[in-house]
Amino acid sequence: MSAIQPLSNSISLTVNGEYVEHAPCSIAQLLQDRQLTGKRLAVERNGSIVPKSQHATTFIQPDDRLEIVVAVGGG
């Protein structure tokens, strides 16, 4: 039996304080993979807010630190 191998062509990054391996992609694709598409949220990449208009054109890089905050309504 062989050990589990890391994803080929994957990069290491931190999302909300959690170390993850993910295929290189845009922030929009990462949000889709995490089932967050269509939600009101903010994405911070390495300390800077990424405007929603740039999610599709901003690509995650090795060792990025992302914070994804989902807005919750209520009273």
Give the tokens for residue 51.
Answer: 């405007």
For residue 60, name the pLDDT band (cuts at 50, 70, 90). very high
| Tens digits of residue pLDDT in 2-48 | 454 454 689 999 999 999 999 999 999 999 999 999 999 999 999 99
Name the token pair of 12. 């290491």
Q: CATH class for domain 11-70? A: alpha beta
Q: Could you give the 3-state DSSP secondary structure of residue 67?
A: strand
Q: Is the torsion defined by CA of 7, 14, 42, 71 positive or negative? A: positive
Instruction: Reduce the secondary structure of 6-64 to three states and give it as a string.
Output: CCCCCEEEEECCEEEEECCCEHHHHHHHCCCCCCCEEEEECCEEECHHHCCCCECCCCC
Domain spans, the chain: 11-70
